[in-house]
Amino acid sequence: MFNFNYHMPTKIIMGPDCVKKNSRLLRQFGDFCLIVTGHGSSKINGSLEDAISALEHEDIRYRIFDEVEENPSLETVEKAFLENSVHPVDFIFAIGGGSAMDAAKAVSLLFRNRISARELLSIKNLKGIPVLSIPTTAGTGSEATPYSVLTDHQESTKKNIGQVIFPDIAFLDARYTINLPHHITVSTAIDAFTHLAEGYLNRNSSIMSDVLAEKGFSLFGECIGALRNVCLTIQDREKLMLASTLAGMEISQTGTSLPHGMGYPLTYFKGVPHGTANGILYEGYLSVFKDRRKIDRMLSLAGISGIPEIGNIFRELLKCELVLSEEEIAEYTENMLCNDQKLKNHPEHVTRDDIASIYRSINRR
């Protein structure tokens, strides 16, 4: 018997020049746009120029906030709002990777509710002004999720702010990823794979989410050789971008699981990029499963022979030399055991020793 509840309100448009070709869609969102982006990449890859061209073609006024950092903070989100709160902003254009998109979602809530960024963590069921997204990496899938993950420096961690903010439209143009440094392409691609896997190996998975995941595994698998050989074509980049968006659609239904919760301290305290932090945990994570039927199918779809091979592939691609001390492993393990949401999403019972063993797997070479 099939039993599921699937909701995906984001309109997804993919193809070269899809932003400019569909500029008429912007008019429905209002007369004034705030563009939220990072310091430089959107200026280099052409995405910002294309967004501005589309807005100007429709006679929509705009302002640009281009100070979003990697792993954006509550403070940055509040600054974006305060610096532009006097303007009649009708909608947000998020341009960049997951950091820009997550920040933009939070900024949309501040414009609608006129509250502080920290209040986003405590006031429930907030609605924002419309958000449109242009992803410029193929990894986070934030263009198709309701999540906004921000850094909370008071608590020394990253956290999902707990609101539901789906972008209204996602414009997917893989050309914006062509000039990404290879290590970012790799880290974001593996981030996409971890979304696919954690949604698939999840207590909340359904036939609908599994359909998305299984296509994503196949697309990712078709790109492993190109990632290893540092020779991605535009077709490879389109596959990775589509896999990333499919993963976002999947985890919007299921949430993520253990590696995402376990990776946050590696990013906050050790400076490990998010996708890399997830990926270096994967051999250990998959090894704690008792029922490996879905793991076997997942790896088969990706053209990977087994858990040891995925560990070898990720080590080769990520080139991460992180080593954790036993004290760090103990501290991070205790913190993870307090993360009820990630633990709840894992389909099997996990123990303190399981979590510690996953962290220890990082030290194996």
| DSSP single-letter state for residue 349 | -
The domain segmentation of the chain, as residue ranges, is 11-176, 181-361
pLDDT score recorded for residue 2: 83
pLDDT score recorded for residue 75: 97
What percent of the chain has pLDDT above 70?
99
CA distances from 6 to 164, 166, 176, 204 (A): 15, 14, 30, 11
Tell me: pLDDT of 109 over 80: yes
Match 């994503």 to its residue by tokens.
216
CA–CA gap between residue 103 and residue 244 (Å, rounded) = 19
- Residues 198-212 pLDDT 10s: 999 999 999 999 999
At 184, the pLDDT band (50, 70, 90 cuts) reads very high
pLDDT score recorded for residue 157: 86
Tell me: pLDDT of 133 over 80: yes
Please name which of 231, 212, 225, 68 lies closest in space to residue 141, comparing C-alpha atoms.
212
Tally Cβ neighbours within 10 Å of residue 24: 10
Please name which of 335, 339, 357 lies closest in space to residue 284, comparing C-alpha atoms.
357
CA–CA gap between residue 131 and residue 106 (Å, rounded) = 10
Say if domain 181-361 classifies as CATH 1.20.1090.10: yes
The chain-wide mean pLDDT, for the chain, equals 96
Please name which of 103, 176, 135, 109 lies closest in space to residue 12, comparing C-alpha atoms.
135
The predicted model gives 75-97 an average pLDDT of 97
What percent of the chain has pLDDT above 90?
95
- The CATH code that applies to domain 11-176 is 3.40.50.1970
pLDDT score recorded for residue 365: 67
| DSSP single-letter state for residue 138 | S
Q: For 180-242, give the DSSP string.
A: S-HHHHHHHHHHHHHHHHHHHSSTT--HHHHHHHHHHHHHHHTTHHHHHHT---HHHHHHHHH
pLDDT score recorded for residue 73: 97
The predicted model gives 271-275 an average pLDDT of 95
pLDDT score recorded for residue 114: 97
Q: Is the model's pTM score more than 0.85?
A: yes
pLDDT score recorded for residue 364: 82
Phi, then psi, of 161 in degrees rounded to 5: -70, -10
pLDDT score recorded for residue 52: 98
- Residues 147-180 pLDDT 10s: 999 999 998 888 899 999 999 999 999 999 999 9
